């Protein structure tokens, strides 16, 4: 049976292929009958699956992260493609090709690795270059660094995503530095390459992308600082203050305490890194959200839960684009419906804010 990839599935297609179970949730319908929500994936993307019949018996036959053979029918519901499953069965791992099931960066890993070598060679500070070379010379580290995703669900959720994201930040750094006086470009480049380095141990990505025990208990920021400290000790004469500035960038790159940042940015370089990291991750995440909805005829995406909004798909590049009427489904009606303004507490409003505004709370003078 040839592999039917998720990106090729169209409305009303018959489905008969093998997928990886990314998520599995039992739920209860309004009539009291149990049903199953599945998230099926392969390297081209993921798709919702609905199982309505014989759910309790089938629940015992497979688990999350299992490979399953699925037969069913594709349909668009609330502007999103889904599969209504008629039959499902677990498939042994040795009967599938693992390369079909984990998404991979659109960029060549070999090409990105060569770019990384060039970036490190261009670092002028001998201590920072020595630190980066100690990472590049560690083959086990490089194997993980070049293969790891950047996240489980927010952005660059594919093999090679961490390296792609880190190199994108380097390009942003090099475009920003000439605009401002006195920025330490070498420090910023090193921070861009190492800010998420802890994700090589935070994430597991051999079969499905998930968090490791260390990722859940420590997190990539703590793990990353430990990795950097270990390598710094191998570089003779590495200045103590430079070590402190670099580790501060890792500790503060999430910007705010409520975003999991142990420290807020307190240097120019840390502030720049925080904003560039936030921008690149958000743009990649939004583009991925829009790309998932190629089956929808609506000019708007479905609601994005984490960003708490809809996104308009059109940007004026295609001048010949025809107006497309919004599909009259529940999501569009909710989008077009005017909501009455409601009072929201200042704390709740700030936490829901899409923007990254680390200086907004300066009026409290709680600078440390």
Band of the pLDDT at 312, cuts 50, 70, 90?
Answer: very high
List the domain range (segments joined by +) for residue 35: 6-100
**Residue 337, burial from CB neighbour count under 10 angstroms (0-12, 13-18, 19+):** exposed
Whether residues 264 and 131 fall in one domain:
yes
Which of 72, 100, 128 lies at the terminal end of a domain, its last residue? 100
Asked whether residue 130 is domain-assigned, the answer is yes
Whether residues 62 and 159 fall in one domain:
no
Whether residues 182 and 51 fall in one domain:
no
Band of the pLDDT at 272, cuts 50, 70, 90?
Answer: very high
Beta strand 14-28 with 67-77: parallel, antiparallel or unpaired? antiparallel
CATH code for position 95: 2.40.50.140
Whether residues 114 and 254 fall in one domain:
yes
Q: Which of 176, 368, 170, 184 is nearest to 269 (CA)?
A: 184
pLDDT at 344: 47
Q: What is the pTM of this model?
A: 0.74
Asked whether residue 334 is domain-assigned, the answer is no
Strand ranges (E), the chain: 14-28, 34-42, 45-51, 67-77, 80-91, 203-204, 210-211
Mean pLDDT comparison of 28-37, 110-119, 312-321, highest-scoring range: 110-119
Number of domains in the chain: 2
Contacts of 119 (CB under 8 A, 6+ apart): 167, 170, 189, 193
């Amino acid at each position: 049976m040839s592999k039917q990839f998720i990106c090729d599935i169209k409305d009303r297609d018959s489905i008969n292929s093998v997928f990886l179970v990314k998520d599995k949730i039992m739920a209860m319908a309004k009539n009291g009958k149990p049903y199953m929500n599945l998230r099926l994936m392969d390297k081209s993307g993921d798709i919702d699956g609905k199982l309505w019949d014989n759910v309790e018996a089938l629940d015992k036959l497979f688990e999350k992260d299992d490979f399953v053979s699925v037969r069913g029918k594709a349909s668009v519901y609330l502007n999103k493609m889904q599969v209504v499953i008629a039959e499902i069965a677990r498939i042994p791992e040795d009967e599938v090709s693992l390369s079909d099931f984990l998404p991979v960066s659109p960029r060549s890993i070999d090409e990105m690795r060569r770019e990384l070598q060039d970036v490190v060679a261009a670092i002028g500070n001998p201590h920072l270059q020595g630190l980066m070379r100690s990472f590049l010379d560690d083959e086990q580290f490089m194997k993980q660094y070049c293969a790891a995703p950047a996240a489980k669900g927010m952005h660059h959720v594919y093999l090679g995503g961490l390296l792609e994201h880190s190199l994108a930040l380097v390009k942003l750094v090099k475009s920003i530095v000439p605009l401002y006086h006195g920025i330490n470009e070498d420090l910023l480049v090193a921070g861009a390459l190492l800010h998420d380095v802890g994700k090589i141990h935070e994430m597991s990505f051999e079969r499905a992308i998930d968090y490791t025990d260390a990722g859940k208990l420590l997190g990539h920021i703590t793990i990353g600082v430990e990795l950097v400290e270990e390598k710094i000790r191998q570089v003779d004469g590495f200045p103590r203050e430079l070590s402190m500035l670099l580790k501060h960038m890792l500790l503060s790159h999430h910007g705010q305490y409520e975003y999991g940042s142990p420290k807020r940015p307190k240097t120019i370089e840390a502030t720049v890194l925080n904003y560039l990291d936030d921008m690149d991750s958000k743009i990649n995440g939004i583009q991925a959200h829009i790309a998932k909805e190629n089956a929808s005829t609506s000019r708007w995406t479905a609601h994005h839960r984490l960003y708490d909004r809809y996104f308009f798909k059109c940007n004026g590049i295609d001048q010949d684009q025809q107006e497309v009427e919004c599909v009259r489904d529940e999501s569009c009606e909710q989008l077009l419906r005017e909501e009455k303004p409601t009072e929201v507490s200042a704390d709740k409003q700030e936490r829901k804010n899409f923007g990254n505004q680390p200086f907004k709370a300066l009026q409290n003078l709680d600078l440390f």
